[in-house]
Amino acid sequence: MVTAGSDVENKRNRTGDVERNSENRSSVGRRRFLQAAGAGATVAVAGCMGGGGDDVVRLGATYILSGFASLYGEAAERGIEMAQSEINDNGGIDGQDVEIVVRDSEASADTAIQQIRSLVEEDDVDGLFGLDSSGVAQAVAPQVAQLQMPFMITHAATPFVTSPEGEHEDSVGNDYVFRDSNSLAQDIYGAARTAAELDATEWATIGPDYAFGYETWDYFQDFCAGLGVEAEFTAEQFPALATSDYTPYISSILDAEPDAVITPLWGADLTTFIGQAEEAGWFDQIDHTLFSVGMGTDLASDGNPLPEGEYASTRYDPFVPDTEANNTFRDAYYEEHDTLPTYNAEGAYRAVYLYKEAIESAGSTEADALVDEFTGMEHSGPVGDYQFSETNQATVASIWGTVSYDDEWESNVLDPVNRYEAGPDELSEALGDSDLPTGI
Amino acid sequence: MSATTDTGDRVREFGAAVADGWTRERFGLLGAIGLILMAFGPSFQIYLFTDFLVVALFALGFNLLYGYTGLLSFGHGLFYAGGAYGIAVVLRDLTPVFADVVGAGVAPLVAFVVGGVVGLTLVVAVAVPVGWLSVRLEEIYFALITLAFGMLGYSLIIQDPAGLTNGTDGIIVLLGSVDLGGLSFRIGARRTYYVLTVAVVLAATYGTWRVVNSPFGTVCKAIRESPDRAAALGIDVRHHRWMTFIISAAIVGIAGVLRAGLASVASPGLTHWSTSAIAVIATVIGGATYFSGPIVGAFIFLYIRWAISRFPTLEAYWELFFGALLIGVVLYFKQGAVGGLLLARDRLLGDGADDAGGTEADSTDDSRSDDARTDRGDDS
C-alpha cells in the first residue's frame, strides 16, 4: 500500500535535508525495529483490554457532560451517584455491586453512537440509560435495536422514540428502547391544558432550531385544537442551538404582539434568553410565558431564574406527590448538593433502580430477559407510581405550575402545581384528528 | 497459455521477493494478512480500525493538496460532509423508489452504490467552483477562504434547505439488509462494512499513490517547491492547483461516504472546522512530506484517543493531551511520526548501509540519493 521509495522521494524534495541512512533497506535493522514495535503494540493492546465478566452489575450511561447543556449531565451524574451508593450500601443488585460508566455524548449523535458501541462492546455493560437530546435519541434508537441492549431514556423527550416504527414517518420506537420520564407529547398536553385556563388567544413560540423546537410547536397547536382551546398561532422563531444573541428573535416576537408564548428553550440557551428578554421588556409586554422543561434548567443554573408568575413544566416535582419515596429523595439530594433535585437527576436515579428491579426479578442480566421485565412493568419512585405502556413509555403525569420563589428552599418552585394524567387514552383523545403519534 | 506462464512467473517472482529479506513484497503480504486477521478481531476493534481507515483516507486526500501541492486547506470537512450527506439523502429518500424498480431484496445495495456515486458527484460538483475560487489565493489566504467555505457549508446544512439536511439533528443512515436469492447480509454489519471499507480505502489509496507518482504528481511537487519556477517551465500553476483541489476533494468525498455508513448518521459537525482540523492534525502528526504520513498520523490520532478514553479521568481532558502531543511533534519531529520512526531506527540500530543483504531496491535508492544531493545543491 505504501512504499518507502515514494515517501523518501517526496521527503527529499520537500526538505532537501533528508538523512541518507533512512533510505537504505537494512534487513536486520528493519526486522529488529518491527519486533520491537510489535512487542510494544501487543503490550499496549493487552493493557487496554480486560473488563467484563467480573462480579458486578455494570451499567452504561451517556449524557451531555460538556458544552452549553452540560448542566443536564451534571445533574444526571448526581442522581446516578446517589442511586449507586444507596444500592451498594444496601446489598447491591442480587448481592452484586452496581458499577456505572458515564460517557459524554457531546450532544452529538455521532459521538453518542460511538460511546454506546464502546460501552456495549468494550465495557461489556448489562444495560444502558441516559440521553438528553431528542435529535440524538432518534439516531440512537435504531442502533440500540441492532446492539440488542435495553436502553432506558431518562430525559430526551421526542415522542417518536416511543412510537413504533412505521406509525409515523419519523417513528423509530422498538422493543429495546424505553423511557422512564415524560415525553414531549405528555408535557405539551399539559401545556395545552394550562393554556385552556389562561385568558390568551394569540400564541407564539420561540424554540431551538431542531426537532424538539418544531415538535413542541406542532404538538401544542394540535393539542389546543383537540382540546377545543380557542387559540390563534401568530408567530414562530427558531434560533439555532447555542445562540448568544436572541435580541432579533425577541424583537420579532414582540412585534407580533401575542398574548402568550410557549418556549421550549433549554440549558444555557434558556438562561441567555431570559436575561435578554427581561432587558427587552418581554415580561411586561407578554401576558403569559410558558416554559416547557423550564424547571430542569432553573434549578441547576446560577443566573437568570425563571420570572415569578410565569408558567413552567417539569417532569418531576420535588414536593408532589407527597410520598415517603419523594421526600426522602428530595431531602437527601438537598443535603448533599444544596439545591432541589431536577427532573434529570430524578430520571437517572430512577433508571438505576429500574435496572435493579428488573435484574432481581429476572434473576439474570440477559438483555432479552431485562427487555421482557421492562415491558409493561409497574414501578414506583420519587415521581410517583407509573407503568410502561405498550410502546415502552412511562405513564407519568404532565406537571405544570406557576413559578414562585420559596424562601424555605431558597429556590424557585412550582406553586400551585397541577398534575394532569397523561396516559394513552388522554393523549389520543386530546390529539383528535392530528396525524402526530401519541408516543405512548 | 503464455498468460498462464506469465502468471506463474509473477507468482514465483513475488514469492522470491517475499523470501528475500524485508522487501516491499513481504510488507505487502504481511499487511494483507494483518487486514484479514483484523476481520476476526473483537467487534469494537473492527469498528475502531474501520474508523481509522476512513480517517486515514480523509487525511490522505487532504495531504494531496497540502503535502504535495503546498496548499493548506482548512475546509476539507466540506467535502467529507458532502460525501456523507449525498449518500444519506439517497438512502433516506430513494430506497423505496429503488425497491419498486429492482425489488426489495437488492434495493439497499443499489441505494448504497448509487448513494456513494451521488455523494462523490456532489463533492466534485461543489469542489469545481470552490476550488476555482480558492486557488486564486495562496498560503494563509487560501487557508482562510477554505475555512470560510467549510463554515458556509456548516451554516447551510443547519438551515435545513428544502428539508433536505434535517438541520442540526443530521440524517440517520440505515444501510439495510440485502437479499440476493439465497444470499442474505446486512451492509452495515460490522465485518461486512469493514471488508467494504478495506476494499474502497485500498483502491482509493492506490489511486492516490498513482496520482502522486505520475507526471501530474511531479508537477504538483514542482509547484510546491516553487510556483514561480514551475510557471517559468510552462506549467499553468493555477489550473494545476485547481485540478489537484478537485482530486483531493473527491478522495475526501469517498471517505465521507464511508463515514456516513460507519457513524450511521450524517451530521453537520462533519463540515465544522474542528473536523477539517482532524485531517490537518493527523497529517502533521504523521508527517506531511511522506505518502504514508497521514495514514500513520490517523492511526496515532485515533488509537491514542481511544487509549485515553479507557481512563475516565484522562477522558475529560483528552484535548489537553493532544495539545501537548502536537506541540511535541511540531517542535521536535518536523518530519512527523514517520520521519521520527525512520530516524529512530537509524539511530538505534546503526547505519543500515553497513548491513549485508542489499537488494536491488537498494541500488535504485542509492541512485536516487545522488539526485537528492543534486537537489540540495540546487536549493542552496
**B355/A29 Cβ within 8 A:** yes
A403 occurs within a structural domain = yes
Question: Each residue of B246-266: b (16+ CB within 10 Å) or e?
Answer: bbbbbbbbbbbbbbbbbbbbb
What backbone torsions phi and psi does residue B178 show, to the nearest 5 degrees?
Answer: -100, 135
Cell numbers that stand for A155 in this block: 430525559
Q: Which residues in chain A touch residue B293, judged by CB atoms under 8 angstroms apart?
A: 7
Q: Higher model confidence: residue A7 or residue B142?
A: B142
Average pLDDT of the segment spanning B12-17: 77
Across the strands, what pairs with A420? A398
Residues A203 and A312 in one domain: yes
The answer to whether B62 touches B279, Cβ cutoff 8 Å, is: yes
pLDDT at residue A220, rounded to an integer? 94
Residues A146 and A231 in one domain: no
CA pair distance A370, A367, nearest whole angstrom: 5
B180 occurs within a structural domain = yes
Structural domain range at position A101:
56-183+322-387
pLDDT at residue B22, rounded to an integer? 67
Q: Total domain count for chain A?
A: 2
- The DSSP element (H or E) to which A61 belongs, if any, is strand A56-63
pLDDT at B196 over 80: yes
Q: Which residues in chain B touch residue A3, judged by CB atoms under 8 angstroms apart?
A: 24, 209, 291
Task: For residue range A381-409, list pLDDT tens digits in order.
Answer: 999 999 999 899 999 999 999 999 888 88
A interface test, pick of B44, B53, B206, B223 with most A CB neighbours within 10 Å: B44
Cell numbers that stand for A238 in this block: 427558531
pLDDT at B350 over 80: no
pLDDT at residue B38, rounded to an integer? 81
Q: At what angle do helices B43-66 and B273-286 cross, to 10 degrees?
A: 90
pLDDT at residue A22, rounded to an integer? 39
Structural domain range at position B255:
45-272
pLDDT at residue A435, rounded to an integer? 86
Q: How far apart are the first and last CA of chain A?
A: 54
Residues A157 and A102 in one domain: yes
B50 occurs within a structural domain = yes
Residues A267 and A410 in one domain: yes
The answer to whether B196 touches B57, Cβ cutoff 8 Å, is: no
pLDDT at B269 over 90: no
Q: Total domain count for chain B?
A: 1
Judge if the upstream peptide bond of residue A382 is cis by omega within 30 degrees of 0. no
Residues A408 and A291 in one domain: yes
B interface test, pick of A6, A7, A8, A10 with most B CB neighbours within 10 Å: A10
Which member of A13, A25, A113 has the closest CB to residue B264?
A: A113
CA pair distance B268, A214, nearest whole angstrom: 18
Residues A269 and A279 in one domain: yes
B311 occurs within a structural domain = no
Closest CA–CA distance from residue B194 to any residue of chain A (Å)? 15
pLDDT at B184 over 90: no
CATH number at residue A203: 3.40.50.2300
Q: Cβ of B275: how many Cβ atoms within 10 Å?
A: 22
Task: For residue range B82-107, list pLDDT tens digits in order.
Answer: 999 999 999 888 888 888 888 777 88
Residues A148 and A289 in one domain: no
Torsion A78-A83-A84-A88 (CA) sign:
positive
Laid out side by side, the sheet with A97-104 consists of A97-104, A56-63, A127-130, A151-153, A177-179
Which member of B265, B354, B365 has the closest CB to residue A5?
A: B365
Question: CB-based contact (8 Å) between A46 and chain B?
Answer: no
Cell numbers that stand for A170 in this block: 419519523
SS3 A385: strand
Of A133-142, B34-43, B132-141, the poorest mean pLDDT is in: B34-43
Which member of A27, A44, A146 has the closest CB to residue B357?
A: A27
B90 occurs within a structural domain = yes
Residues A158 and A237 in one domain: no
Q: Which pLDDT band holds residue B377 (cuts at 50, 70, 90)?
A: very low
Task: For residue range B40-91, list pLDDT tens digits in order.
Answer: 888 888 888 999 999 999 999 999 999 888 889 998 999 999 999 999 999 8
pLDDT at B26 over 50: yes
Residue of B nearest to A110 (CA): B263
B27 occurs within a structural domain = no
DSSP per-residue codes, B46-57:
HHHHHHHHHHHH
Residues A61 and A92 in one domain: yes
Q: Identify the segments of chain A with pLDDT beneath 50.
A: 1-34, 36-53
Q: Which residues in chain B touch residue A174, judged by CB atoms under 8 angstroms apart?
A: none
A195 occurs within a structural domain = yes
Task: For residue range B164-183, list pLDDT tens digits in order.
Answer: 888 777 888 888 788 877 78
Cell numbers that stand for B227 in this block: 510556483
B293 occurs within a structural domain = no
Q: What is the pTM of this model?
A: 0.79
Residue of B nearest to A122 (CA): B44
Residues A409 and A281 in one domain: yes
pLDDT at residue B162, rounded to an integer? 82
B198 occurs within a structural domain = yes
Q: Which residues in chain B touch residue A20, judged by CB atoms under 8 angstroms apart?
A: 369, 372
Residues A217 and A139 in one domain: no
Q: What is this model's ipTM?
A: 0.73
Task: For residue range B335-346, list pLDDT tens digits in order.
Answer: 888 888 888 878
Residues A179 and A197 in one domain: no
